[in-house]
Chains A and B, each alone.
Chain A
């Protein structure tokens, strides 16, 4: 390691990926991986011990998870930059990572060269957001694409949504809400339309992803 090298801490749950990335990054001039961790908790601890310049953070690591780890590391008074590496472009929580203090954001669909570039930019204290993620973020800021698509729902629609997500059928919902089955179906289709989904399962999955309902049926 040269004295001016950018020191990197790698956080990813797959040892194979960590090991391969470490070797690939170490081969590039000016970069040096000083540590690897497999969980969010470890990332917080090792960031404190190793004082790297950049933490490369997988969003879906076990333990406290990538988001909480990002928040804790960013809140500590360490002089480092966090670059988040996500699995998919349309991650519903990317803005939360940026709010939590990440200064770089890319997906695992990028090349090694791009991740190296992101590390260098972040180490200079600047922001790096990969083109595919930036495009997605820009589109989601257009009118009609507010932060949460659920904000646009009426109270009745939310009520029907919650019941669908509890696994109830149309007949059951209509009895509970004292509406006709036809009206309940109309609400369902309006929900599908507003949220851009095609069926009850997709609707429920979207609600889970946004934390509107829990991961099990009784919540």
Chain B
């Protein structure tokens, strides 16, 4: 537990971490683990990205640690917004091993690190230290799979051809949102949302939105809390 962590420990005051997790009990657990490091402190715990952005405007945390399982849409979107508005704040996202496509998009959108949500406490410390040294961090188990996807002819998915906007709309459709709701959420007209949806059906060769949902489900882009 006391391996040298040069960059983070060398800081003169504790490093502020803003924790994003919707569940109070989980926030309490992670907050405790960070505080016990002796050099990290949770400056605030918030339930989502809107709150996180509001908080970051007034007080700049060094790190934003995101633990929002099952909310790929929010995470992708929130991470991009934070990167655009606060280039100095490093975003570290806890993700499941199966969320390869999301991880890749997160890294492309400027997230500083993606870490396996089942990681150990020591790995979390290492990840934060890596970020503080100015480098990016990817869990070994995730890096392996992401690398495999880069080998031509292997591991590609039908989603690779989608733009950020198309993927965003796909995720919302797959979560069961209707056109009106999507248009409102993304500040687009219903007509635009419909044309995106038709393009998705065409690009992914699906006949219906239900087919799109199954495709997203199969690739781990969305999940359904199941009974067993």
In the complex, chain B residues whose CB is within 8 Å of the CB of A199? 176, 178, 209
Bound together, the chains give a CA A205 to CA B22 distance in angstroms of: 22
> Are B119 and A15 within 8 A (Cβ)?
yes
Contact B225 A109 (CB under 8 A): no
Listed stretches A60-68, A120-128, A135-143, A175-183; interface member: A60-68
Query: Which residues of A have CB within 8 Å of B207?
Result: 167-169
Set of chain A residues within 8 Å of B36, measured between Cβ atoms: 23
Assess whether A85 is interfacial by the CB under 8 Å rule: yes
Of B4-12, B26-34, B51-59, B153-161, the segment with at least 4 beta carbons within 8 Å of chain A is: B26-34
In the complex with contacts A24-B32, A216-B218, A217-B211, A108-B26 CB distance below 8 A: yes
Q: How far is the CA of A201 from the CA of B118 in the complex (A)?
A: 30
Closest 6 CB pairs of A and B: A20-B29, A202-B176, A108-B23, A20-B32, A167-B211, A20-B33
Report the contact-size class of chain A (Cβ under 8 Å from the partner): 35 or more
- Interface flag for A117 (CB, 8 Å): no
Smallest beta-carbon distance A99→chain B, Å = 13
Expressed in whole angstroms, the minimum distance between the Cβ of A138 and any Cβ of chain B is 21
**Do B121 and A15 touch across chains, with their CB atoms under 8 A apart?**
yes
Stretch at the interface among A41-49, A72-80, A87-95: A87-95
Q: Enumerate chain B residues within 8 angstroms of A109, measured Cβ to Cβ.
A: 22-25
Cβ contact of B28, chosen from A93, A111, A197, A215, cutoff 8 A: A111
Whether B32 and A23, one on each chain, are in contact in the complex, defined by CB atoms closer than 8 angstroms, is yes
Interface positions of A (Cβ within 8 A of B)? 13-21, 23-24, 38, 60, 65, 67-68, 85, 87-88, 91-93, 96, 107-112, 115, 164-169, 197-202, 204-205, 208-211, 215-217
Chain A neighbourhood of B25, CB < 8 A? 17, 21, 85, 108-112, 115
Q: Are A14 and B118 in contact (CB under 8 A)?
A: yes
Q: In the complex, what residues of B have CB within 8 A of residue A60's CB?
A: 225
Q: Is the Cβ of A167 less than 8 Å from the Cβ of B210?
A: yes
Give the shortest distance, in Å, between B211 (CB) and chain A (any CB). 4
Q: With both chains docked as a complex, state the minimum distance between the C-beta of B42 and any C-beta of chain A, in angstroms.
A: 11
Q: B31–A20 contact, CB under 8 A? A: yes
The answer to whether B187 has its CB under 8 Å from any CB of chain A is: no
B151 within 8 A of A: no
Chain B, Cβ-Cβ closest to A113? B28
Given A112-B25, A198-B178: A209 touches B225 (CB 8 Å cut-off): yes
Contact of B227 among A13, A87, A92, A168 (CB under 8 A): A92
User: Is B227 within 8 A of A96, CB to CB?
Assistant: yes
Whether B209 pairs with A20 at a CB distance below 8 angstroms is no
Beta-carbon contact of B213 and A201 below 8 Å: yes
Q: Does B198 contact A (CB under 8 A)?
A: no
- Decide if B39 is an interface residue (CB 8 Å cutoff): no
